Structure 1
Amino acid sequence: MQNAQHPLFGWTVNQWIAAYQRGEVTPNGLLALLDAFPAPDNAWISRVSHAQLDAQLAQLATRLEAVGGDIGKLPLYGVPFAIKDNIDAEGWLTTAACPEFAYTASADATVVARLRAAGAILMGKTNLDQFATGLVGTRSPYGAVPNSFNPEYVSGGSSSGSASVVARGLVAFSLGTDTAGSGRVPAGFNNIVGLKPTKGRLSNTGLVPACRTVDCISVFALTVEDAECVAGIAEGYDASDAYSRANPNTAPVGFGASIKLAVPATLEFFGDAHNQAVYEQALQTLGDMGAEITRIDFAPFKALAEQLYYGSWVAERTVALESMLASSPDAINPVVRGIVENGLGYSACDAYKAEYLRATLSRQINDALAGFDALVVPTSATIRTLAEMAAEPVLYNSQFGFYTNFTNLADLSALALPAGLRADGLPAGITLIAPAWHDAALARFGKQWQAHLKLPMGATGRPLPEPAAAPQPFGSVRVAVVGAHLTGMPLNFQLTRRDAVFVEQTLTQGDYRLYALPGTVPPKPGLAKAEGGQSIIVELWDIPLARFGEFVAEIPAPLGIGNLTLADGRSVKGFICEPWALADAQDITAFGGWRAYIASLNKA
């Protein structure tokens, strides 16, 4: 493992922000960080120049002044990041790892613009399998990117450079892309997190397409917390991207109280006993964490995965490179060219038949996942040396995609997580896969997984930091319940059937009074703010935003939803009661909560 050589290498987003807020570093320190980058380093295609960095720091100072000097209002203030070199940054060359294709971008990609607006500083553009075609990290005229743990092995691709610079701690996070697994395989090979969002969650405007209908811009980070933060800032509907989608906010934002995970009934590791051992240990750990694991038929997943390269879907890559094939075919990597030229052999009829098959298999896959929180697969079945990859570039690439290629075709979300080191010292990972828009639920469990394993981050040797207080997930409403909706109480189902997730038990501020309302069925309390009150026990639940209206519609008078203040000062939505209903109600404040009052009735 490569330990961080510079004191700023290997910092998480939160560690950067905290250091800025404490005045321990200033953004000008990024100049020294840049000078400390290893050279040569073919994980980069281009690195920021001092002049470019000075210009970004001046823009950052202007942004900070515009928010009154409050760093907290720029959630990525001064945080260094990188982007895969098939994503545009204004004034930078975009090469897609093909010098003959290169052009100077006239504007930032939408996601880059959003990250920079939040204060992030672009440190460079990273190497990739040419035109994002490959899962290996070797198909580039800028050189193969080595594995960050053992340079004799591949880094994985196509987002090879983006994974490498994060794993070695040169930047806090990076953007990659994921069409067939390019945002996951390099994460698994380098002991980092790879967040593959739901298709359309992050805009693809400013991305050189590989397969436009399934391309996703992805996020690499040292922690799930960072990846989730970055994706939350970068996401959003973009009318300039025909495949952009608005989040309907109907999906659960966490796993249920009883975690239910699916795994393939038949597993394939292509003879790699090391990867198999890590995966089997991961399943044991998941069981220890309380997960119920069920084996399911993997046949439709495998069949759909094969369509991406061994069917007419490859013609979509041909369309993306149509002009290069016509004008400069010799400029294309021979392996990439061989793959892309295969698309010329398919007809429009073949394409429609392939779409019908994709729809059928996708329906089977989503039906198979119904009732589970996620599917858990090895991020990759195996890993190969650079020498092995040179000998069998297509066969071994396909092995890497065995557990990844179906994901975007089936419109699924995914999160690649570190799972531990193999007996030979190389990292291996697992990937959680769930239906579209379950990104928040995957991230929530992914943070629990990382906290449970406590693996060092990437190849930096740095320990995983203590988790910060869990923020409210994007696309949810946090609701405080005080009575019949508490866990185990008769109306709790109104939350759980809408995929609400329990967060914590806590207390209100000390100026509330609790009443038992007469004649209510089932019995319900009323909560009111009043002088001489006290703190009352409540539970916090996160409910998907689009399901919140349904929940509120079931609340009968005299109850309603208002704003409650908690003991720690937070304000959340919560049950309140109209004052007229309290005149004949029994004051039960002294019990401190509804459960204690109900228990007193049962004793009586």
Structure 2
Amino acid sequence: MNQPPTAPVTAEERVAAAYERIDKAERPEIWIALRPYEDVLAEARVLDARVTAGELLPLAGLLFPVKDNIDVADLPTTAACPAYAYRPEVSATAVRRLTDAGAIVLGKTNMDQFATGLVGTRSPHGPVRSAGHPEKISGGSSSGSAVAVALGIADFALGTDTAGSGRVPAAFNNIVGIKPTLGLVPNTGVVPAARSYDTVTVFARTLAEAQRALAVMTGPDEADPRSRTWPDAVRLAAPERPRIALPRDEDLAPLSDEARAAFQAAAGQLRETGAETAIIDVTPLLEAARLLYDGALVAERYAAVGEFIARDPEAADPTVAGIILTAAALPAHALATDQERLDHFRTAAARLFAGFDALLLPTTTDHPTIAAVQADPVGINKRLGTYTNFVNLLDMAAVAVPAGEADGSPFGVSIVTRTFDDQVGLDLAARLIGTTGEIVDQTPTPLPDNGVDLAVFGAHRRGQPLNHQLTELGARYAGKARTAAAYQLTALATEPPKPGLVHVGPVGGGAITGERWTLSPAGLGRFLAALPAPMSLGRIRLDDDSWVLGFQCDPHTAAAGTDITHHGDWLTYLATV
């Protein structure tokens, strides 16, 4: 009987498998600079030795390519313009954090030149073909990175996103794309497209893989004045019954009938998981989207690379040069006017999102052929950004995930959330692809990792009457907890009923089962402020000899209750009464 091939385990084995896939794929347009196999293999062997020696590396052996507007030490950065090339001595902060965690760079990937486009065809290295439909575009500007992931060459890949470049390629290639809140991943070492609205993004085949990489990259960097830290009150989880906004039928006008049906199916899937949906008018968002290219905000693109292109316009792609050089004539007052308009759109967006946890949108409109884009490079590109352009302008986060097929191509949707609600978006996206438990199981630390663990044993547990006090603060369920065998549990005469936990030592004490939740620091503070007597928070010893904050009851009050320690669990006790 034939046995299936053994999956690569060591970094050396993973590198060998990746280069075999590269050879079989016959997609040279993916790469601008592919590292020599021998160099990557040697790096993998060193990494394997470090792991064998006991070094803990969270991304050990994972392989990733980097979009060619992000610096990798000793590899040229060209932004798909050979005349612009320079060779950095140090990697971009995001890349360095990944390699420090054990990930290995495969090379630099093709892209729409200077990250100007959503099509993946504006490159002197040729159009990057869609992974599953070679006659169609891969989407841009992070084209090569997305296709490398979709073809199984890489575990994850880095892109950038200003207008949707970390999301549109995900939709066209049936993979996941995460576009974080601006500034969470530093842009140090990234060639800017529009500095105020750029962010590094990650592609992967699963949410868990993408989140693992993103978690390593996030965090402030003194070298990037726009980098940001998580607020103390950040939500660490989506609520069990979230409210999701949906666009009106007329807002879906650019979609075909099949695409509309796929979108409605995705909305229905969210409802099946317990979400509530409601229709809103997204016109302000779509109007804001048009400012990125149709307004004066395009001046940021000239500020980024305009002087270089003006000196040597023949070195640039004609479409890219036309977009960027036209911005040179824009007066400063026009930019100030559009920035003020954008402020009003942000206010309007805040009103639209009031009472909602997220907005569900199609990631893009349709999947054009390479020939169609070459015939109409500007018009089609503009259409593809209909549902993506506004997100960075309004300082939001988004997760793009597959959602079936439409018109013979992959179809994708995006969960759009407020600033810093990145983990909420990831949780909701997991519901869409049928992996509700995936992030909790495979990546137990949410974004961010500044939460505080809290153990609860009674009415605050899932399904119990006070659990909402945790979930409304964005607390995240982190699994079961069990105390050391030194605690007494008593049923108190309260409304609603709840137990009291008291440390009594090994004589008369038992092990009590509860739950572990993770809250933001500010969430824990608000929770404590509302905590009624006789409850208090203190350190509780668990059965693995670790300590965690948890509910305790004063011994005098507990003595007046009914001892239920022998049940070992509040829920077990409730089943008997």
Query: What does residue 488 of structure 2 align with?
Result: 513
- Residues of 2 paired with 1:95 and 1:311: CA distance? 27
Cα distance change, pair 391–556 in 1 and its aligned pair in 2 (3 A):
same
Give the drift of 1:511.
4.7
Render the CA deviation track for 1:220-247: whole Å, top value 9, x for unaligned.
Answer: 0000011111100111100100110011
Q: Do 1:63 and 1:119's aligned partners in 2 also have CA atoms closer than 8 Å?
A: no
Give the drift of 1:81.
0.7
Give the drift of 1:571.
5.8
Three-state SS of the structure 2 residue aligned to 1:104 is: coil
Q: Which moved more, 1:589-598 or 1:296-305?
A: 589-598
Aligned match for 2:238, one of 255, 271, 281: 255
Query: What does residue 15 of structure 2 align with?
Result: 30
Q: Which moved more, 1:477-486 or 1:25-34?
A: 25-34
Q: Do 1:478 and 1:540's aligned partners in 2 also have CA atoms closer than 8 Å?
A: yes
Query: What does residue 452 of structure 2 align with?
Result: 477
Give the drift of 1:565.
5.5
Aligned match for 2:327, one of 343, 362, 381: 343
- Residues of 2 paired with 1:510 and 1:441: CA distance? 36
Three-state SS of the structure 2 residue aligned to 1:478 is: strand
Three-state SS of the structure 2 residue aligned to 1:175 is: strand
- Residues of 1 paired with 2:219 and 2:279: CA distance? 35
Query: What does residue 503 of structure 2 align with?
Result: 528
- Residues of 2 paired with 1:109 and 1:7: CA distance? 37
- Residues of 2 paired with 1:496 and 1:594: CA distance? 20
- Residues of 1 paired with 2:18 and 2:461: CA distance? 50
Task: Give yes or no for the alignment of 1:80 onto 2:56.
Answer: no
Q: Do 2:21 and 2:152's aligned partners in 1 also have CA atoms closer than 8 Å?
A: no
Q: Do 2:240 and 2:274's aligned partners in 1 also have CA atoms closer than 8 Å?
A: no
- Residues of 2 paired with 1:505 and 1:530: CA distance? 22
Q: Do 1:479 and 1:572's aligned partners in 2 also have CA atoms closer than 8 Å?
A: yes
Give the drift of 1:581.
5.9
- Residues of 2 paired with 1:431 and 1:312: CA distance? 27
Render the CA deviation track for 1:395-428: whole Å, top value 9, x for unaligned.
Answer: 111111000000001110100001112352x211
Aligned match for 1:560, one of 512, 516, 536: 536
Cα distance change, pair 363–470 in 1 and its aligned pair in 2 (3 A):
same
Give the drift of 1:192.
0.3
Q: Do 1:472 and 1:478's aligned partners in 2 also have CA atoms closer than 8 Å?
A: no
Task: Give yes or no for the alignment of 1:244 onto 2:227.
Answer: yes
Aligned match for 1:152, one of 135, 145, 160: 135
- Residues of 2 paired with 1:487 and 1:206: CA distance? 44
- Residues of 2 paired with 1:260 and 1:405: CA distance? 23
Q: Which moved more, 1:281-290 or 1:551-560?
A: 551-560
Q: Do 1:136 and 1:158's aligned partners in 2 also have CA atoms closer than 8 Å?
A: yes
Render the CA deviation track for 1:426-479: whole Å, top value 9, x for unaligned.
Answer: 21111000001111111123233323599xxxxxxxxxx998455131333332
**4+ residue segments displaced more than 6 Å:** 518-522, 567-570
Amino acid in structure 2 at the alignment position of 1:177: T
TM-score relative to the length of structure 1:
0.87
Cα distance change, pair 433–302 in 1 and its aligned pair in 2 (3 A):
same
Cα distance change, pair 529–84 in 1 and its aligned pair in 2 (3 A):
farther
Three-state SS of the structure 2 residue aligned to 1:135 is: coil
Aligned match for 1:420, one of 404, 415, 439: 404
Task: Give yes or no for the alignment of 1:52 onto 2:63.
Answer: no
Give the drift of 1:497.
3.6
Query: What does residue 593 of structure 1 align with?
Result: 569
Task: Give yes or no for the alignment of 1:207 onto 2:196.
Answer: no
Q: How does 1:97-496 map to 2 (within 5 A)?
A: 97-265=80-248, 266-270=250-254, 272-424=256-408, 426-451=409-434, 468-469=441-442, 471-473=444-446, 474-487=449-462, 491-496=466-471
Amino acid in structure 1 at the alignment position of 2:307: S
Give the drift of 1:263.
1.0
- Residues of 2 paired with 1:195 and 1:165: CA distance? 16
Structure 2 gaps of 5+ residues are none
Q: Do 1:31 and 1:53's aligned partners in 2 also have CA atoms closer than 8 Å?
A: no
- Residues of 1 paired with 2:392 and 2:545: CA distance? 42
Cα distance change, pair 260–504 in 1 and its aligned pair in 2 (3 A):
farther
Q: Do 2:271 and 2:277's aligned partners in 1 also have CA atoms closer than 8 Å?
A: yes
Q: Do 2:64 and 2:156's aligned partners in 1 also have CA atoms closer than 8 Å?
A: yes
Aligned match for 1:41, one of 19, 25, 28: 28
Percent identity, aligned pairs only, is 39
Three-state SS of the structure 2 residue aligned to 1:93 is: coil
Q: Which moved more, 1:249-258 or 1:404-413?
A: 249-258
Amino acid in structure 2 at the alignment position of 1:37: I
Structure 1 gaps of 5+ residues are 1-5, 9-14, 455-464
Aligned match for 1:546, one of 518, 522, 540: 522
Three-state SS of the structure 1 residue aligned to 2:28 is: coil
Q: Which moved more, 1:482-491 or 1:345-354?
A: 482-491
Amino acid in structure 2 at the alignment position of 1:480: A
- Residues of 1 paired with 2:57 and 2:443: CA distance? 19
Amino acid in structure 1 at the alignment position of 2:381: N
Task: Give yes or no for the alignment of 1:576 onto 2:560.
Answer: no
Render the CA deviation track for 1:23-77: whole Å, top value 9, x for unaligned.
Answer: xx34255145325413452111111113532553365357547xx424xx20111
Cα distance change, pair 192–572 in 1 and its aligned pair in 2 (3 A):
farther
Amino acid in structure 1 at the alignment position of 2:226: Y
Three-state SS of the structure 2 residue aligned to 1:402 is: coil
- Residues of 2 paired with 1:418 and 1:595: CA distance? 39
Q: Do 1:514 and 1:528's aligned partners in 2 also have CA atoms closer than 8 Å?
A: no
- Residues of 1 paired with 2:450 and 2:537: CA distance? 18
Render the CA deviation track for 1:469-494: whole Å, top value 9, x for unaligned.
Answer: 55131333332212343456565453
TM-score relative to the length of structure 2:
0.91
Q: Do 1:82 and 1:162's aligned partners in 2 also have CA atoms closer than 8 Å?
A: yes
Computed over aligned residues only, the root mean square deviation of the Cα atoms, in angstroms, reads 2.9
Amino acid in structure 1 at the alignment position of 2:363: T
Give the drift of 1:250.
1.7
Render the CA deviation track for 1:266-309: whole Å, top value 9, x for unaligned.
Answer: 33353533322221221222222222111101110011000000
Three-state SS of the structure 1 residue aligned to 2:192 is: coil
Three-state SS of the structure 2 residue aligned to 1:37 is: helix
